[in-house]
Structures are given as structure tokens and as C-alpha cells.
Amino acid sequence: MSDTVTTPPRRKHYLNVDYGIKSWLLTQDHKRIAILYLISITFFFIIGGVMAALIRVELATPLGDLVEADTYNRLFTAHGVLMVFLFLIPSIPAVLGNFLIPLMIGAKDLAFPKLNLGSWYVYNLGALLMVAALLRGGTDTGWTFYTPYSSTFADSEVILTALGAFVVGFSSIMTGLNFIVTIHRMRAPGLTWFRLPLFVWAHYGTSLIQVLGTPVVAIAILLVAAERLLHIGIFDPALGGDPVLFQHLFWFYSHPAVYIMILPSMGVISELIAAFSRKRIFGYKFVAFSSLAIAVLGFLVWGHHLFVSSQSIYAGLIFSVLSMLVAVPSAVKVFNWTATLYQGSISWQTPMIYALGFIGLFVIGGLTGTMLATLGIDMHVHDTYFVVAHFHYIMVGGAIMGYLGGLHFWWPKITGRMYSVFWSKIAAGLIFVGFNLTFFPQFLLGYMGMPRRYHAYPEEFQILNVLSSAGATILGLGYLLPLIYLFWSMRYGERAGDNPWGAYGLEWETSSPPPTLNFDEPPVVTTEAYDYLSLREKKLA
Amino acid sequence: MWKNVPLFPEQASTLASEVDALYLTFLGISIFFGLLVAGLVIFFAIRYRRRAEDEIGRPEKAGIWLEITWSVIPLAILLGMFAWGAKVYIGAFRPPSDAVEYFVTAKQWMWKFQHPQGNREINELHVPVGQAIRLTMTSEDVIHSFFVPAFRVKADVLPGRYTTLWFEATKIGTYHLFCAEYCGVEHSKMGGSITVMEPADYEMWLAGRDTGPSVVASGQKLFRVKACSTCHRPDSATLAPILHGLFGEEVELEDGSTQIVDENYLRESIMNPIAKLVRGYKPLMPTYQGQITEEEVLQLIGYIKSLASDATENQGPESDSSSPASTPDEG
């Protein structure tokens, strides 16, 4: 960490190897593609965030007095569509996974570098379609596109938005496919499956879902477009279709999609907890297999979105019990992380604050999820703010906390620079407090009975809504700070060493930022994952 | 400031206390585990904070018994909660036999109700306290969802089919009715109220208005006007099945399968008669799709159901025709 002064000949790394715009747009380097993704998803996170802000301002008063009802509906639809398809799903896999998986397994790149670059272009093509839909007035179906509203009744840009989601889905499949092949074929000598970092295991599970689930939502979306254009009767009962069929097809993907968002985040958390406890993750194999268990069981629980949709009582019973099962591997992860802290050497660095915050929020999100899986509770809180709060705890509290924690952890590796420790801790604190203030009141609102997607609401719900909007302000500030200090650090930040945290892992053995082909010499692995004993001995030797 | 801001919805149905008991128990379990994890995380993070720059954690072997313990305990609790939740849910979707049937037709963006006595209301429903009420619901356009937080009941309302829901109000008052499934521009305005009254007040309320003909009477009139009675005769099963006593029974279809005659089957048979033809009949009946409103279909069904319960009242004597599955030729 003190060798910042003595670097007279400029070392070539992936960032300074070439500067032209073409060297970025045509790059096949997984690290550069990760940066391209980082820029894209940050852009859409900001737009989606601005829409959330407008929604929260609108909901500060019970009367819908800021924007028209129709505008409000288009806002929450755009917020959902952008955040889910253009930010959350690609976030950790396409940025951190892309950057880190080859480094973590000691490979020069992903298995298919051109496919990787192609996935970014496909992503942007889909994004462009969605932006075009927005510029033409947006869509008002909600991100769930429920039929027959979306297929027959909605008078907005449904097809363009749906097509965008369809196209973006392919980028997700490409990334997943690339990861699966890479993890199977390109591990460094000695890096057996059970020596893999848990981040890689989590991405393996995620990739399976991406490859197997995404085609189904693509089909569902295409059928909606076909019904709108050609009036074939698939979902609209007036044409002989079945509206609930769409919900089955949609959730068959979209429920596993939640695990596309949360599993990579769990992978990040495993890395952070190991690194900042300087200890092997307790129950490594259980944590690894729990990722696969979640990926597989995740495909069998979609019907819990249909408990009050006229689905038969027996289907409800089966989906309810399966949903309870999927909670067990999640609980196993939480207990193992907690046990890892025991007798660890715990450092309160910024990424660790995110990791500990993640555990808290994920526990709340997970427990409320099992409440929703309970039939007798769901029929009351289904489609209320209770659900909104629950999935924000998972997708924002869980996925984004993991994403930000990971970004702060690997930032010195990605950029070679360190950010302001002070400001990053302030931001982490603001995000944790702001998040809870925004979304905790929504649990109460939901149980009180406030339905989701309401532009106006009865007066007695106002105070909790005001609290939520106030929390959103703090949360927004918390998100703004990293944008500033991370940017700032790229130019002015202190140079980070190769391994600023003293963490175990192949990515920390190469230089920061890494060279284009990642390692000067191909690494050979001789130790188990998170073997801090050997790391210390190596340092002493 | 908090006086008018209740943090818990009112309990105004027999179901409400059941759902709340389930919820509060689960909440208690959740708080226990949440605090347990949070407490351990905070305690460990402080107790084992790094004290020297080159310090590492003490590695330990994973204990298989520990893993089993913290898998099995949550699993057992979750299965218990599942079973309890399932019990409440099944109860909520199986109306008691003495429930009185009301009809609900939803459309963008209003709720239309019809009392069995014939009275119609829009966005408001008056019901007597202490009486089980069963709603048979359908939509004229998109999916809506009938939600009364104070009763803890919710069920989606679909176009092209019937869903049902029941409740028994326990407390006099007026409660919010919401549409819980996003249904378009004025979704948040698609609400109204349920007013729960003393039975005597309810009777007075009914009497004080122009109730119009009862559901059964309206259905009976439609049955004649729409010429259903030409073929569906009480005394002859030659052209069409006799409808008396048919509701709730099982009929055999052309392909040999059987079908319970319920509201959804009757609706389908009116809108698309040849979809599930009773064995032995020719596809003679024309479709009524587009020629009859959803409310009229409900009235017809109400009438057909009344034939099941009392065969003599509406069509004269034919005591022998109400045997189940009275199709003409079985073989």
C-alpha cells in the first residue's frame, strides 16, 4: 500500500492500453465490457430513480394532485420496467460478474468474448426500444403486463416496451450462457469446483435461471404483442383466450428472475463477509449448494403470485408449501454468514457495512416473503403495499446493497484507485436509514389495506406515506453520494495497491487495475477458498 | 397526530380475527428470528473486531449438526405456518351452505352489485350483519380484484368466468372497498364502500327503495324473452336438457368425460353452447355471446339455480324430472 511513489515506467493495464472510442466500443475484454455495462445500467438506474422520486412526491398527499392518474400509471410502469429489466437483472452479473469471474477463476477472459460484447449491444438495442416507447408517451400496464388489460385494453406503447424487454432478455441469456461455459471450461489448474469463490457459485446458479427462464417470458411477451396486433385469442376471453394463462407464463420467468437479482448479491455478500472477517465462509458447501437449491426451487413457486387469481385451492396449497421450501436455503445462507463472523477478524470497512446492512434487510425481506407465501395472510395483503415493501426489501435492500457493497469492494481493483472512506461510510449509513424509512412504513400501509399502484388514496394512509416519501429523500441522497465520490476517485483518489483489503482470492493476486489478459503468469491454485492462513504465510515468506 | 391514524385495520368479519391471529403469530416469530440474527451480527462484529493489521479469523470446521439444526428448525416452523395458513385460506374460499348469494359485476371503473331481492347498487353495497354472504363475481372487461381490508378478503374478478368470495360481517359500520388489481387509468378510484347494518335496518333499507324484480324473477323473465324456454322445457328433454334440479349435479359430456354443473359451466353453455355439449344432444343452441349482458347471465344462472332448489315454484308440476343428470338416452 506504500509503493505509490515508485512506479516510474507506466505499467500497461486494461484501462490505459488504448484510449480511442473504438477501443471501447469494439473491445472484447470482459473488463472493459463490464465498464460499458456499468455506464449503461447507471444511466438507467438514474432515470428509474427519478421516476421513483416523482412517484414518492405524488404520494405525499392523498389526492392525486401532482400528475394525472394516467401519467402516474406510466411513471410506475416505467420505474418498474427500467429498474427490473435494465438495471437489476444485469446489474451484478453483467458488471461485477463480467469483470470478476475470469479473474476469480484465473482465466484470461470469458469463453466467448464476442458474445459478451454482443450482449451489451443487444442490451442497448432493447433499451433503445424502451426509451423510444417512453418518448412516445410510455406504457401504462405496470411492469407485469397483465392481460387482457395489456393485450386488448391499454392505450399506450405496450408493444414497443414489451419488445424492448424481449430483446434485453437475449442479452441476459448470452451472459448466462457465457458464464456457464466459462465456469465449466476455464478454471485455472487446481481450481476445483469446491475451491471456487462463492461468488462464482452464485453466478452459476443465476446463469442457469437466465438460460432456462428467460425464453418463457420472451414467449409470453411475444404472445401479448401478437394478441394486440393480430387479435388472436390467447389471453382475452372475449376472443376465446384465458387471461390467467399469461400470469402463469409471466411468473414462470419473473419469479425466478427475482433470484437472478438476489443470488449474485448473495454471492457478493459471501465474498465480503469472508474478506472482512478474514475467514473461510462457515459451511462453504452448504452455502454453495444453497445457491443451486434456490435456483432450482425458484422455478417451482411461480403460482404463489396467483393465490387470489382464481387458481384452484389445491394449486394454492402446493405453491405455498414449495415457497416455504425455497426459504430454507436462504435461511441457511444467513445463518452461515452469521456463524462466519464468530471468531472472525472483523473490519468495519465500507463494503462490510453494506454486507451487514444486507443481512438485516434481507432477513426482513425474506421473513415477510414467507408471510406472503402463507395462504391465509396473502389473501389479505396480496397486491397491497405489503408486497411492494417486501420486494423492495429483496430487490433494493438485498440486490442493490449487494451491488453497492461489491462495487465498493472491487472498485480499487477495477479503477486502481481508492475512494473517500469517510464519504463512503456516510453514504452507506444514509442508504441503510433512508431505505428503512422509505419501505418499512409500506409494510404497515399494506396490512392496513392500501392497494399498490394507487394514484390517490384515502386520507388515513397519509402519515405513513409522508414518512415513506421522506425516507426516499434520504435514500436518494445516499445514492447520489457514491456517484460523486466514485467519479471523483477515478481521477483524484489515492492509488490502491493490488490487494488493499488483504483479501484472499485470485483477483487480488494480479495488479490493480489488471492487465488486459488478467495475469502476467497463469495462476495455479493450491489452496482452498478463503484460506487466510496460507495467505498470511505467503505474505510473511 | 396519531389519533386518527390507526396502524391496524378494523376487524369487521369472522375471518378478520383468524387472519390477524395468523399474521401476529408469524410476526412474532419473525421478530424473534430477526432480532436473533441482528443481535448476533452486531455482537460478533463488535466482539471480534479486528485488533491488529495482520490478524486473521480463526478458521473452524463446519458442523454438520449445526447445519442440520438451522435447516430443520426453520423448515418445521414454516411448514407449521403453511398448514395454519392453508386452513384459514380454505375456510375463506369455502362458503357455508347458508350463505346468501349476491352478484358482483366489475367494469372499468365501477362495481355493480345486485342483491338477491333484486336491488341494485353501484360502488356501494349494503349487507346485514351476522349473515354469511357469498359473492359471485365477474368482470366485463379486464381483471379487477375485490378487496375489503376490514373483512381481510380478496379475490380477483375475471372476465369470462366467475370467481367467488364470502364473508360474514361482525360489526356495524362502513368500510373501504378497493380494487386491488391494476385495471387502468382510474384504478385508484375504483373503490367504494361496504355498509354493514343490523338485519332490521337492512330490511328497512331494502324496503325503502325501489327494489325491482328479484334476481330469480328477472332470470325467469329473461328465460322466456330470450326464448330459452322453447327448448329447455320442464316436461320434455328431447331438444335440450331439463334444467330442473340440474345445478350442482354431474352431467356426462360428448367425449365421455363428466362435468359438474356450476356457475362457470352454465355461463360457458350460454355464451358458447357447443364447447361442452351434454351427451346425446345436437349442437342446436345458438350462442348468446354479445346478445346478453353479464348481469343478465347472472340473473339467468340465479333462476336456473332456483329451479334446483324448488322445482315447482316457477314452472308448474313436474316432480319426476328433477332426477340428476336427466339426459334422454344413456347409451
- How far is A3 from chain B, CA to nearest CA, in Å? 18
Taking contacts as CB-CB distances below 8 angstroms, the residues of chain B near A320 are 82, 85-86
- Delimit the CATH 2.60.40.420 region(s) of chain B: 1-40+93-212
Q: Is residue A11 one of the residues assigned to a domain?
A: no
Q: What local confidence, expressed as pLDDT, does residue A515 receive?
A: 95
- How far is B311 from chain A, CA to nearest CA, in Å? 31
- Please confirm whether the linkage preceding B95 is cis (ω < 30° from 0): no
The position carrying cell 427500467 is A82
Whether B37 sits inside 8 A of A453 (CB atoms) is no
Chain B residue nearest residue A279, CA to CA = B57
CATH entry, B1-40+93-212, from 3.30.60.50, 3.40.30.10, 2.60.40.420, 1.10.3370.10: 2.60.40.420
pLDDT tens per residue, range B204-229: 998 887 778 888 888 888 888 888 88
In chain B, pLDDT over 90 holds for what percent of residues?
Answer: 53
Q: What local confidence, expressed as pLDDT, does residue B226 receive?
A: 85
Nearest to A243 among B34, B143, B153 (CB): B143
pLDDT tens per residue, range B9-32: 999 999 999 999 999 999 999 999
Mutate to test the interface with A, among B20, B179, B185 (most CBs of A within 10 A): B185
Identify the band that residue B319 occupies on the pLDDT scale cut at 50, 70 and 90.
very low
Q: What local confidence, expressed as pLDDT, does residue A239 receive?
A: 84
In chain A, pLDDT over 90 holds for what percent of residues?
Answer: 86
CATH number of the domain enclosing A88:
1.20.210.10
Identify the band that residue B330 occupies on the pLDDT scale cut at 50, 70 and 90.
very low
- Delimit the CATH 1.10.760.10 region(s) of chain B: 215-312
A528 closest CA partner among A333, A274, A318: A274
More confident residue, A423 or B218: A423
Q: What does the mean pLDDT of chain A come to?
A: 93
- How far is A206 from chain B, CA to nearest CA, in Å? 22
Whether B86 sits inside 8 A of A237 (CB atoms) is no
Q: Is residue A370 one of the residues assigned to a domain?
A: yes
- How many structural domains are present in chain A? 1
Identify the band that residue A518 occupies on the pLDDT scale cut at 50, 70 and 90.
very high
pLDDT tens per residue, range A153-204: 888 899 999 999 999 999 999 999 999 999 999 999 999 999 999 999 999 9
Distance CA A29, CA A65 (A): 50
Q: What local confidence, expressed as pLDDT, does residue A145 receive?
A: 92
A124 closest CA partner among A40, A214, A47, A33: A40
Chain B residue nearest residue A500, CA to CA = B53
At A522 the three-state DSSP class reads coil
Q: Is residue A441 one of the residues assigned to a domain?
A: yes
Q: Could you list the beta-strand ranges (E) of B85-162.
A: 100-107, 110-114, 120-122, 124-128, 132-139, 144-148, 153-157
Residue A120 predicted with pLDDT over 80 = yes
Q: Is residue A6 one of the residues assigned to a domain?
A: no
Q: What local confidence, expressed as pLDDT, does residue B294 receive?
A: 87
Taking contacts as CB-CB distances below 8 angstroms, the residues of chain A near B66 are 283, 339
Whether B181 sits inside 8 A of A69 (CB atoms) is no
pLDDT tens per residue, range B154-175: 999 999 999 999 999 999 999 9
Q: Is residue A135 one of the residues assigned to a domain?
A: yes
Whether A455 sits inside 8 A of B188 (CB atoms) is yes
pLDDT tens per residue, range B130-153: 999 999 999 999 999 999 999 999
Whether B37 sits inside 8 A of A363 (CB atoms) is yes
Whether B81 sits inside 8 A of A374 (CB atoms) is yes
Identify the band that residue B327 occupies on the pLDDT scale cut at 50, 70 and 90.
very low
Q: What local confidence, expressed as pLDDT, does residue B5 receive?
A: 55
Taking contacts as CB-CB distances below 8 angstroms, the residues of chain B near A335 are 37, 70
Residue B306 predicted with pLDDT over 90 = no
Q: Is residue A529 one of the residues assigned to a domain?
A: yes
pLDDT tens per residue, range B98-109: 999 999 999 999
- How far is A467 from chain B, CA to nearest CA, in Å? 13
Other beta carbons within 10 Å of A291: 27
Taking contacts as CB-CB distances below 8 angstroms, the residues of chain B near A144 are 182
In chain B, pLDDT over 70 holds for what percent of residues?
Answer: 91
Residue B308 predicted with pLDDT over 80 = no
- How far is B236 from chain A, CA to nearest CA, in Å? 32
Identify the band that residue A417 occupies on the pLDDT scale cut at 50, 70 and 90.
very high
Identify the band that residue A2 occupies on the pLDDT scale cut at 50, 70 and 90.
very low
In this structure, of A196-210, A460-474, B283-297, B308-322, the range with the lowest mean pLDDT score is: B308-322
Q: What does the mean pLDDT of chain B come to?
A: 87
Q: What local confidence, expressed as pLDDT, does residue A443 receive?
A: 96
In chain A, pLDDT over 70 holds for what percent of residues?
Answer: 98
Q: Is residue A5 one of the residues assigned to a domain?
A: no
Whether A149 sits inside 8 A of B6 (CB atoms) is no
Residue B280 region by backbone torsions, left for phi larger than 0, else alpha for psi between -120 and 50, else beta: left
Q: Could you list the beta-strand ranges (E) of A80-143.
A: none
Taking contacts as CB-CB distances below 8 angstroms, the residues of chain B near A346 are 44-45, 48-50, 57
Q: What local confidence, expressed as pLDDT, does residue B1 receive?
A: 43
Q: What local confidence, expressed as pLDDT, does residue B33 receive?
A: 95
Q: What local confidence, expressed as pLDDT, does residue B307 receive?
A: 84
pLDDT tens per residue, range A350-403: 999 999 999 999 999 999 999 999 999 999 999 999 999 999 999 999 999 999
The position carrying cell 380478496 is B154
Query: In 3-state terms, chain A is what percent helix, strand and coil (to 5)?
Result: 70, 0, 25
Identify the band that residue A420 occupies on the pLDDT scale cut at 50, 70 and 90.
very high
- Concatenated DSSP letters for A255-290? HHHHHHHHHHHHHHHHHHHHHHHTSPPTTHHHHHHH
Q: What local confidence, expressed as pLDDT, does residue B4 receive?
A: 54
Contacts of A404 (CB under 8 A, 6+ apart): A354, A428, A431, A482
Identify the band that residue A9 occupies on the pLDDT scale cut at 50, 70 and 90.
low
Whether B6 sits inside 8 A of A452 (CB atoms) is no
A192 closest CA partner among A314, A106, A278: A106
Number of A to B CB contacts under 8 A, please give it.
Answer: 280
- The CATH code for residues B215-312 is 1.10.760.10
A26 closest CA partner among A12, A39, A36, A40: A36
Distance CA A53, CA A59 (A): 10
Mean pLDDT of A273-293: 94
Beta strand pairing call for B100-107 and B132-139: parallel
Q: What local confidence, expressed as pLDDT, does residue A6 receive?
A: 52
Q: Is residue A196 one of the residues assigned to a domain?
A: yes
Q: Tell how far CA A409 is from the center of its chain.
A: 16
Q: Tell me the residue range of the domain where A477 lies.
A: 18-540
Chain B residue nearest residue A355, CA to CA = B41
pTM of the model: 0.91
- Report angle CA B103, B109, B110 to the nearest 5 degrees: 35
